[in-house]
Amino acid sequence: MRPWADFRGGQIMAGRPGITLVDVVQACVALRHQKRRVGPSNVRSQLGRGSMTTISRHLRRLALRQEPRPSRG
């Protein structure tokens, strides 16, 4: 058994559960309500957990990886 694994109900569970697409969607909705930019860093800040790779993957799937920045002209 791996030292970081836990045995529950006949299944080996690795450390922490990862973030889901639903977690990312909820974070995006919260960020929009706060009028904050939706991006990997802000989503991670909103969730308080998760890897940037996983968050970026979910955002790409939602086609929200980056919003256009307002022009300064």
Q: What is the model's pLDDT at position 73?
A: 63
* Alpha carbons 70 and 58: distance in angstroms, whole number: 24
Angle ∠(40,59,68) on CA atoms, nearest 5: 75
Q: What is the model's pLDDT at position 1?
A: 46
Q: What is the pLDDT along the chain (73 residues), one digit of tens a residue?
A: 455 555 555 555 566 678 999 999 999 999 999 999 999 999 999 999 999 999 999 999 998 545 566 667 6
Spell out the alpha helix ranges (H) of the chain. 21-33, 40-47, 52-62
What is the token pair recorded at 28? 């995006």
The domain ranges of the chain are 18-62
* Alpha carbons 35 and 44: distance in angstroms, whole number: 16
